[in-house]
Amino acid sequence: MSTVTESSSTSESKAGTVALIGRPNAGKSTLMNLCLAEKLAIVSDKPQTTRHRIVGILSQEQGQMVFFDTPGIHRPHHRLNRQMVRYSMDALNEADVVCLLADASSAIGSGDRYMLDLLADVDGSRVLALNKIDLVNKPSLLPRMALYGEAGIFEEIVPVSALTGNGVDILLQVLWRLLPVGQPLYSPDLLTTHPERFLVAERIREKVLAETRDELPYTTSVLIELWQEPAADESRAPVKIYASILVERPSQKKILVGKGGQKIKAIGMAARRDLEDFLGRSVYLELHVSVEPDWRENPRLLATLERDLSLPGSS
């Protein structure tokens, strides 16, 4: 293997993948969106919001950094959750750089120690992003950083706030430095490998998360049933999107629809405004709540929900 000197490597383009790994609600999606300066992954205050490996592509003068935003690693209780954890583990083992996000505002527990054990066996470079520093006093950061440093597995430990952006520029510099020299993995014009259909379903689900509580966020999903583009001679007509919101029990459907249909109407209005901004065109959106008992354990339904995750031939 040839050796690249420090002077020459600084002028060569970097290209590689960065896996954002962490426990649920660590701020991975918020961080990726900030790095991309685009809202790609949906966000909410509910754990387990991210259910897939979301690919975000940052192309700059330095080269191309491909982010893997992953589901929070947790103890899985359903087929869906086992699938989510598998996405995270695959990204952990495939990425050139693994960036662990840890919540600086929470006490270090067994889940955090489990994450350190996982990263100890990773071959690639490892970075710790100590997130949510906007929620803690600065003097408390140094002992926390020293405690993580004792693991001896991180090239760098960077305090950040994915919410305010504090420290994120430093984190990006570290990630660029650790990426290998190489050619772009994707066209510099791409932001992601995922098609609009998948991203639209995710944005609708984000509005469901915002309007629901207790167990409902974990028992709902969104399936695009029909996507109708306007005819060629109707360029000003809206794109028509028909989507089903899956729930597991009739009582959940009643909650989601709301009294007189008010809750589903609010979800639809918020989603339509967001989709029109995202797609840059008029949208007609029709939502239907469908009861699918134990859909989180149904391999057929899970496969259907995954069908539009990636473009044909993309990784």
Tell which residue, 61, 28, 42, has the closest CA to residue 199: 42
Please tell me the distance from the alpha carbon of residue 307 to that of residue 315, in angstroms, as a whole number.
14
pLDDT digit string (tens) for the chain, length 315 residues: 333 334 334 468 999 999 999 999 999 999 999 999 999 999 998 888 999 999 999 999 999 999 999 999 988 788 898 999 999 999 999 999 999 999 999 988 898 999 999 999 898 899 999 999 999 998 889 999 999 999 999 999 999 999 999 999 999 999 999 999 999 999 999 999 999 999 999 999 999 999 988 778 888 999 999 999 998 888 789 999 999 999 999 999 999 999 999 999 999 999 999 999 999 999 999 999 999 999 999 999 888 888 767 644 333
Please tell me the distance from the alpha carbon of residue 90 to that of residue 24, in angstroms, as a whole number.
17
Which residue(s) pair with 32 in the sheet? Answer: none
pLDDT recorded at residue 123:
87
Please tell me the distance from the alpha carbon of residue 74 to that of residue 111, in angstroms, as a whole number.
8
Please tell me the distance from the alpha carbon of residue 297 to that of residue 289, in angstroms, as a whole number.
19
The fourth-level CATH superfamily of domain 6-178 is P-loop containing nucleotide triphosphate hydrolases (3.40.50.300)
Please tell me the distance from the alpha carbon of residue 82 to that of residue 74, in angstroms, as a whole number.
9
Going along 166-261, which residue ranges are E strands? 221-228, 239-247
The fourth-level CATH superfamily of domain 196-306 is K homology (KH) domain (3.30.300.20)
Amino acid in position 38: E
Residue ranges per structural domain of the chain: 6-178, 196-306
Q: What is the pTM of this model?
A: 0.90
pLDDT recorded at residue 48:
83
Two domains, one topology: 6-178 and 196-306? no
Q: Is 95 helix (H, G, I), strand (E, B) or coil?
A: coil
